[in-house]
Amino acid sequence: MAVGLCAVLSGAPAYGEQGKAQSEFPVATDMRLEQQGETVKLTMALSAVVAVEAWVQAAPDRVIVELPSTNFQIQPGARRNAGFISAYRYGLFTTDKARIIIDLSQPATVVKAEARALRGGLGELVIELRKTSRTEFLAEAAKAKKTTTAAIVPMPPKPPGETRRTVVIDPGHGGIDPGTVVASIAEKSVVLDFGLALKQELEASGRYRVILTRDDDRFVPLADRVKIGQDEKADLFISIHADSLTQAKDVRGATVYTRSDRATDAEAAKLAAKENQADAVAGLETSEELQDVAGILIDLARRETRTFSGVFARNLVDKMGASVRMHKIPLRSARFWVLSAPDVPSVLIELGYMSSPKDAELLTSGEWRGKAVGAVGAAVDEYFARERASVGQAAENRHAQ
Ligand SMILES: [Zn+2]
């Protein structure tokens, strides 16, 4: 049987470890950071005692803390850095694991990583780090645990007799990887809301079978997203993101990207490089984009797929342009890993710039989302209508001969 990774059953509630809903995971609250001389201690209150593992990783230098799936309810005012800890983030990593990733500004080693049992079945997570030399840090990192990739979950097979077109919607980032964060808005939530709304829009027509690569706040590696599109034999793959530019707060609007080996411009290249870093953000050490498979048939398939991706991208620019604000160069391309399936027409939509206060307001508004989702739905309809028309034309031509 074909297996996919982290696949999410369409329409089913989000389940993690052993069928548990996210709301049933142990809860982590009350995050504290304390520095004492060469030591920094990170603690969190836990609703249960859980198994904890921690190890260091070099380039970028950080500490990875792994625990079972956890529902992080960290207070908004929690301290964000202390001593050699420059930042940290937390969230779901695989179907049964969560991570806390601690960024280091100087080499440090893990002195303690445990969940202490408290009264009443409660626990306290204690991570104690101490400053160390570069040499020692690198030696630690070299012998540290190498991460497994995401847990394998069987894919829902395409039901026999299914004739509807399959559209895979891929909300970017998730879980331990928040994507761009501006003020208190995380890209991962903006694009999930959009993905869920788009699924509803497409399903309402009754014409499409719609699969989401994630339908809750979890991390999905890039390779798995591509694989879900291929395993599901998707007729279209739509990745959803929301960009940001630190320098220019006045740059606004949505952009549609397709894959190309050479980027249309420097900004597109930079953006693709950033989005391709998603696995590294989650501390996935082993992931690498598969080398493009060579071969005449694959080349033909890829060329055809790129043509279809281009047609759909132009439909998107037309339809979206009629109802929401677009970037001044709305159609661009770059080497996005998530668009690499040679057999699945794929596009990536950057909904807007979270760095623009005006765009950020729109991206979180239900009214804007409704308009944008409607436009994407119309582009999908047009794409398949044209395809049917050209198939019909071909049949007529054959008939005439
Ligand atoms: Zn993104």
**What is the full DSSP assignment across 275-306?**
HTTHHHHTT--S--PPPPPP-HHHHHHHHHHH
pLDDT at residue number 269: 93
Residues 310, 383 contacting (CB under 8 angstroms): no
Residue 44's H or E segment, with its range, is: strand 39-46
Average of pLDDT values for 108-117?
A: 95
Tokens of 373: 């989702």
Check residue 37 and report its DSSP letter.
T
The CATH number of residue 188's host domain is 3.40.630.40
C-alpha 135 to ligand 1 mean position (Å):
35
122, 143, 164 - which closes a domain: 143
Average of pLDDT values for 164-186?
A: 92
User: What total number of domains does the chain contain?
Assistant: 2
Average of pLDDT values for 373-385?
A: 96
Amino acid letter, residue 52: V
Q: Is residue 344 part of a domain?
A: yes
C-alpha 163 to ligand 1 mean position (Å):
32
C-alpha 122 to ligand 1 mean position (Å):
36
Tokens of 288: 């690498």
249 compared with 300, residue with greater pLDDT: 300
pLDDT band at 76 (very low <50, low <70, confident <90, very high): confident
pLDDT at residue number 292: 58
151 compared with 126, residue with greater pLDDT: 126
C-alpha 173 to ligand 1 mean position (Å):
6
The environment of the single-atom ion ligand 1, i.e. residues with CB closer than 5 A, is 172, 179, 241, 275
pLDDT band at 145 (very low <50, low <70, confident <90, very high): low
Tell me, yes or no, whether 244 and 359 share the same domain: yes
Q: Is residue 398 part of a domain?
A: no
Q: Is residue 220 part of a domain?
A: yes
Q: Kindly report which listed range (146-160, 196-210, 336-350) carries the lowest average pLDDT score.
A: 146-160
User: Is 90 exceeded by the pLDDT of residue 158?
Assistant: no
C-alpha 26 to ligand 1 mean position (Å):
28
Q: Is residue 340 part of a domain?
A: yes
Cis amide linkage into residue 60, ω under 30° from 0: yes
Which residues share a beta bridge with 29? 45
Q: Kindly report which listed range (7-21, 173-187, 240-254, 337-351) carries the lowest average pLDDT score.
A: 7-21
Tell me, yes or no, whether 352 and 312 share the same domain: yes
Q: Which residue has the tokens 């960290």?
A: 74
Backbone angles phi, psi at 8, to 5 degrees: -115, 120
Tell me, yes or no, whether 163 and 229 share the same domain: yes
Tokens of 232: 């599901």
Total Cβ atoms within 10 A of residue 22: 17
The residue segments making up the domain with residue 32 are 17-143
Residues 62, 103 contacting (CB under 8 angstroms): yes
Tokens of 179: 């994507």
C-alpha 396 to ligand 1 mean position (Å):
44
Which residues share a beta bridge with 174? 177
pLDDT band at 9 (very low <50, low <70, confident <90, very high): very low
pLDDT band at 14 (very low <50, low <70, confident <90, very high): very low
C-alpha 178 to ligand 1 mean position (Å):
9
pLDDT at residue number 11: 33
Q: Is residue 3 part of a domain?
A: no
C-alpha 281 to ligand 1 mean position (Å):
12
143, 166, 183 - which closes a domain: 143
Percent of the chain residues past pLDDT 90, beyond the cut = 65
pLDDT band at 2 (very low <50, low <70, confident <90, very high): very low
In whole angstroms, what is the distance from residue 187 CA to residue 168 CA? 19
